[in-house]
Amino acid sequence: MMQLTLARARTSICLGQELGRGGEGAVFAIDGQNDRVAKIYSVQPDAGKIQKLTAMTEAASPLLLRIAAWPVDLLTDNRGLVRGFVMPRVIARRDIHELYSPKSRSEAFPETDFRFLVHVGANIARAFAVVHAQGHVLGDVNHGNLLVGPDGTVLLIDCDSFQIGNGAQVFTCDVGVPLFTAPELHGRALRGLIRTANHDRFGLAVLLFHLLYMGRHPFAGRFSGQSDMPIEKAVAEYRFAYGPDRIANGMERPPGTVALETMGRTISDLFVRTFERSGSHGGRPGAEKWIDALEKLESSLRVCSTANWHHYPGELRDCPWCEIETQTGIRLFGQRITVDRATGRIDLATLWRAIAAVPSPGADPALPSERTWRPPQGVVLPSSILKNMRKAISIGLACTGLVACNALSKDGGVLWAVASYGLAVAVWPRISAENRAVAEGGYSAAKAEWESVLSRWKREASLDVFKEKFDSLDKARDELADMPNKRQRGIAKLESERETRQRQRYLDRFRIDRAEIHGIGGGRTSMLASYGIETAADIKKAKIMQIPGFGETLTSELVEWREKHERNFRFNSNEPVDRHEIDVMDQELESQRQNLQSTLRQGSDSLRRLSQEIGAARARLMPLLEKTWTGLKVAEANRNAL
């Protein structure tokens, strides 16, 4: 193999086997050195590139070498020409984008949960903080220059493309990926452009958003305007699809995604400050802010009571991952399953006897509204006798006037009729609008107070509360007893779906981001991923047609690509149900079983405590019911007396 010389160490090395190849050159092992590799350029670097690499080797520090595959020495050939450089060797790491979505994560990081994602996010921010503290800028931020280890540590690669600060001299980064490039740089030539840490912070936030929000790009969404809105254009126009001003910007996040607020107020505020227009003036949160926020998020995560492999932000009441899994049918975490069967069984019959033996609080006592009501001693109701007498007199006078009208031909008949009607009107009881309003208001207030106390009684003191709890325990008993049958039904379902699932696994091997499909570049691939379409198995014409920017032509290209692979699929009838799928089902059933057992173990104590609480509530609320019912009857009497 080729023999090269280390420029600073003045020692020779021999290249070993080729480890990888990219657009600029290839990476080789170094004979006798397990911790370093050599990057050799296909074309000899020019003087400017050599100056930059020299500055990088001089700037190498323990901190940088801990988080980056940083050049530590140049390599020259036998003519003294620089051919490449030596850097730390990267072992057992995966591309960061393999951690984003459930499908890629199930292969690359099968045992991870959301805690791991948050931990990795904090480490990404730490790597950015180190680079910025040393006076450098990544420039070309994208998920192709970040690798993740099984322990969650991250390593920056392709560092020779970074913008390097060397005193007054700056070696620029002349490339960039539009999906991660700050909006204010869109449309500008990157060659020779001096970038700032504030530009990097935009790319950092895009990386973290992908990580926390299950592989979605923050600017991929549905546009309400007339034209197409590819991600690159949305970025350039500050159209954050998850932000509080998304409606004003004509955007809405894709279906099956979590809201921005899911990660808590601190995290969501950091994203908003990064992606809003004012952030371009230098106000984007620095890496240190993200480190602090992500550490706090990690420490606040709680375990889902339904699926113990779900960890979610402590600010939330309910688990968001359960909701997404229900909506999409996709398992988000914990793809490699280890079922814990050493949890012990319970004696269900004995447990149920203990539950059934708990005495109920007894039938509900009759409420005041169900009994004959009499005013308590000292309570005097207003009398309506006078009002009724005046009404009777008025009616009598009116009748007299009617009789007089029949005698108009007689002398004095008209005068008598007029006088009778006049007296009838004068005698009829009159109530001022103000007094009537006071009476009606008092009655409404008394009725509302009664209904409020009655509602409390039903929630706290009714026998129905006890019955509802007992019925829920009875249901839990039935579900627990049915667990073996439920597993058999699950196995039968998996058996009946063997061919469909084999086809799904086969098509999942063909990823869109690794394929060459006409018209489908990086931006459209990211848009597809933001709508949950990553492999050939995900491609369905109806789903593609609903994605902004994908019409008949692009949809046909994707469908044809899927069909090409599908034609090569052959069902293997001898292949049994995938053991992994059985283990996934078993873990879910085991989690349900443990929850049901826990509920039943606590059942008798819960019922006994509830019975006591109902008794105490009855003693506490019955006098209040009596009082408010009396108040309502008095208010009703006051209203009727007017």
Q: Which residues are catalytic?
A: 140
Round to whole Å and give the CA distance between 165 and 137.
8
Q: Kindly give the interhelix angle for 603-641 and 579-601, rounded to the nearest 10 degrees.
A: 60
**Residues in the chain, overall count:** 642
What Rg, from alpha-carbon coordinates, does the chain have?
39
Phi-psi domain of 365 (left: phi exceeds 0; alpha: psi -120 through 50; beta: other): beta
Identify which of 53, 60, 25 has the alpha carbon closest to the alpha carbon of residue 41: 25
Identify which of 88, 159, 155 has the alpha carbon closest to the alpha carbon of residue 124: 155
- Which amino acid does the sequence have at 631? G
Only one residue has tokens 């009596």, namely: 626
Q: Is 378 exposed, middle or buried (0-12, 13-18, 19+ CB in 10 A)?
A: exposed
Q: Is residue 540 classed as helix, strand or coil in its secondary structure? A: coil
How is residue 576 written in tokens?
């049994």
Identify which of 174, 119, 177, 116 has the alpha carbon closest to the alpha carbon of residue 143: 177
Round to whole Å and give the CA distance between 408 and 396.
19
Only one residue has tokens 């597993």, namely: 487
Kindly report the backbone phi and psi dihedral angles of residue 510, in degrees, each rounded to the nearest multiple of 5, phi listed first: -105, 100
Which stretches of 60-113 are DSSP H helices? 62-67, 102-108
Round to whole Å and give the CA distance between 68 and 130.
10
Q: Is residue 196 classed as helix, strand or coil in its secondary structure? A: coil
Chain centroid, CA 106 distance in Å:
19
- Which amino acid does the sequence have at 384? S
Helices and strands in the chain, H and E counts:
21, 15
How is residue 250 written in tokens?
């004509």
Q: How many CB atoms lie within 10 A of CB 442?
A: 17
How is residue 568 written in tokens?
């090569």
DSSP state of 79: T
> 36 CB contacts (<8 Å, ≥6 apart)?
30, 72, 86, 87, 88, 89
